[in-house]
Amino acid sequence: MSIVETEPVAAPARAIQVAERRPATPAQAAAGGLGAAWWLEGRGFVLACLVADVLALTASVVIAAGGFGRLLEGGAVLALLLPLSLAALALRGTYSRTIGSAALDAIARLVAAIAIAGLVLEVLAVHVGSEVSGGRVALATGLAAVAVTLGRTGAIATQRKARGRGLVGRPTLIVGGGDVAGRIGDRLLENPDYGLRPIGFVNDPDSHAGAGRPSDSLPLLGEIADLGELAEQSGVEQVIVAFSGTRDEVLSNAVRDCERRGVAVSIVPRLFESHTGRVTYDRLGGLPLIGLHAVRPGNWRFKVKHAFDFVAALAGLLALAPLLAAIALAVRIESPGPIFFRQRRVGLDGRPFDLLKFRSMALAPDAGRFVPASGSAPGGVEGIDRRTRVGRILRRTSLDELPQLVNVLRGEMSLIGPRPERPEFVELFSRDIRRYDERHRVRAGLTGWAQVHGYRGQTSLTDRVEWDNYYIEHWSLGLDLRILVMTLAVLFQPSED
């Protein structure tokens, strides 16, 4: 990503002309004409979710009561689940607009909110002496959790599909210059399912954080002092502030101007690589202080993680023993050679270990040394394709990775963590890729945060390192559970052709 010198644009009118030369795609124009943008991205999406929740909760209450008639006769208390659940869902922020949308992010909050509403309803039923049994309250709560979750999951899936096809997306300006601003712009262009459609950069030409625009993909639209007017005149709904050398007073005034005009503002924090999500908020008079709390891989939480790894790996090996035996027999029959493929990899604290896989390739006297493309990680089919017929199936379904459960039992790997790399590549990448060595703070994993987001095989190494370090710094047992669920979904997608 290079810094491109461009002629600065000082006047907002000039900026709008630049933006106007980037017309909406036919899909976006059709969506606007049909009102899809309002229903799938604007306030209409919140309204649609609210209506779907009301219908789901009403149906759940009626079914739990045994029908509408019985609900009117003696189960009217159950109807309180509707307002209680809606209130809990609102308090949990499930009707707020967010950047990106993922069903797994929503499910936990939805279920927790409805469970709280169910508990409150049970207390109220006991307090007023209602004849409604606890079993019916539990049934109504359970049905509501399932129905609301299914409805919301469908809505989110529809929204993501519309975003991916370019039907909807909030126009977005990126403030700042340099690498971080460029990464934001490129990432939003590559991942429209975030719901943000970048239209350009705003930065002062004399800013030491990067004069001009930080990427060739988007134009420079103007200067930071004109940010609010630029945003309003071009219909921008979201502003992302990256790093700029502009004086803090000018930047703060521009941000407040955007807020007054109803434009949402997000800020990439300084020292963002040290943010772990575990922060505390303090103040010194009117000055805010954000306390950072690093993840410590040696603490008791990781010991719980490793204990779970051992139990799960042992249970997996026992449960999958017939499948493992069948695969071993197929590998042996398919081609001469060992059943297992052993390869030296680097794990926790840079210590090497032998990673196990089912052999998926025919043996060769000298396969040669593979060199990945610049900026790309190794993996997948390297060099000459020597996969056997069985090997193709194993790789396509990721079944060749199952023997790594033995590595987990040995304590060399974890179920979840950064994928381990070969020593020669670790040495190379440690020199060339910033923060690469920090992946070795935890045990390597069978699957990881980067892999479930598509970074498998020969994909961007820089992005993979970023995802891996994010996982370490935001680690929790809940995040591990989420990755396991996402891995099951990924398994149904071919990993290699």
Task: Count the alpha carbons within 13 Å of 456 in the hemisphere toward its beta carbon.
Answer: 21
**Better-scored residue on pLDDT, 77 or 123:** 123
Distance between CA atoms of 289 and 279, rounded to whole angstroms? 10
Task: Find the mean pLDDT for residues 206-219.
Answer: 66
pLDDT band with cut points at 50, 70 and 90 for residue 27: very low
CB contact at 8 A, 110 and 86: no
pLDDT band with cut points at 50, 70 and 90 for residue 315: very high
pLDDT of amino acid 5: 34
The reply to whether 201 and 244 lie within a common domain is yes
Neighbours of 300 (CB within 10 A): 8
Residue at 404: amino acid letter: Q
The reply to whether 41 and 83 lie within a common domain is yes
Q: Is the alpha carbon torsion for 379, 385, 387, 389 positive or negative?
A: positive
**Better-scored residue on pLDDT, 26 or 456:** 456
**Better-scored residue on pLDDT, 376 or 216:** 216
pLDDT of amino acid 30: 41
The reply to whether 134 and 173 lie within a common domain is no
Question: Does a structural domain hold residue 313?
Answer: yes
0.85 cut: is pTM over it? no
pLDDT of amino acid 237: 92
Question: Does a structural domain hold residue 295?
Answer: no
CB contact at 8 A, 88 and 53: no
Task: Find the mean pLDDT for residues 433-461.
Answer: 87
Decide if pLDDT at 144 tops 50.
yes
Decide if pLDDT at 120 tops 70.
yes
Question: Does a structural domain hold residue 287?
Answer: no
**pLDDT tens sequence across 389-438:** 999 999 888 899 999 999 999 999 999 999 999 998 898 888 888 889 98
User: Going along 189-254, which residue ranges are E strands?
Assistant: 196-202, 220-222, 238-241
Decide if pLDDT at 149 tops 60.
yes
Decide if pLDDT at 6 tops 70.
no
Residue at 317: amino acid letter: L
pLDDT of amino acid 372: 59
Decide if pLDDT at 365 tops 70.
no
CB contact at 8 A, 383 and 304: no
pLDDT of amino acid 275: 74
CB neighbour burial string for 75-86, b if at least 16 within 10 angstroms, e if fewer: bebbbbbbebbb
Considering only CA atoms, which of 150, 168, 177 is closest in space to residue 244?
177
The reply to whether 146 and 177 lie within a common domain is no
Structure tokens at 340: 């297992």
Question: Does a structural domain hold residue 9?
Answer: no
DSSP element (H, E) containing 47: helix 43-65
Range of weakest confidence among 175-189, 247-261, 479-493: 479-493
Task: Find the mean pLDDT for residues 189-209.
Answer: 84
Query: First CA to last CA across the chain, in angstroms?
Result: 30
Decide if pLDDT at 382 tops 90.
no
The reply to whether 397 and 443 lie within a common domain is yes
Specify the DSSP class assigned to residue 168. Answer: -
The reply to whether 132 and 229 lie within a common domain is no
pLDDT band with cut points at 50, 70 and 90 for residue 25: very low
pLDDT band with cut points at 50, 70 and 90 for residue 444: very high
Domain boundary among 164, 187, 221: 164
Question: How many percent of the chain have pLDDT more than 70?
Answer: 84
Domain count, the chain: 3
Distance between CA atoms of 496 and 87, rounded to whole angstroms? 46
Distance between CA atoms of 295 and 476, rounded to whole angstroms? 9
Residue at 357: amino acid letter: K
pLDDT of amino acid 209: 55
Mean pLDDT over each residue of the chain, to the nearest integer:
83
The reply to whether 173 and 213 lie within a common domain is yes
Tracing tokens 């644009």 back to the chain, one arrives at: 9
Task: Find the mean pLDDT for residues 347-352.
Answer: 93
CB contact at 8 A, 339 and 332: yes
Neighbours of 391 (CB within 10 A): 23
Specify the DSSP class assigned to residue 376. Answer: B
CATH of the domain at 254: 3.40.50.720
Task: Find the mean pLDDT for residues 155-161.
Answer: 89
Question: Does a structural domain hold residue 289?
Answer: no
The reply to whether 180 and 97 lie within a common domain is no
Decide if pLDDT at 287 tops 80.
yes
Decide if pLDDT at 450 tops 80.
yes
Distance between CA atoms of 12 and 10, rounded to whole angstroms? 7
**Better-scored residue on pLDDT, 66 or 389:** 389
Domain boundary among 219, 250, 268: 268
Question: Does a structural domain hold residue 275?
Answer: no
The reply to whether 215 and 229 lie within a common domain is yes
The reply to whether 247 and 352 lie within a common domain is no
151: helix, coil or strand? helix
The reply to whether 107 and 156 lie within a common domain is yes
Question: Does a structural domain hold residue 380?
Answer: yes
Distance between CA atoms of 140 and 84, rounded to whole angstroms? 13
pLDDT band with cut points at 50, 70 and 90 for residue 383: low
Structural domain span for residue 174 = 169-268
The reply to whether 194 and 143 lie within a common domain is no
Alpha helices in 76-133 (DSSP H): 81-91, 103-127
Task: Find the mean pLDDT for residues 59-82.
Answer: 79
- Give the highest mean pLDDT range of 5-19, 31-45, 96-110, 245-259: 245-259
Question: Does a structural domain hold residue 388?
Answer: yes
pLDDT of amino acid 290: 84
Task: Find the mean pLDDT for residues 190-214.
Answer: 78
Q: Counting every residue, how long is the chain? A: 497
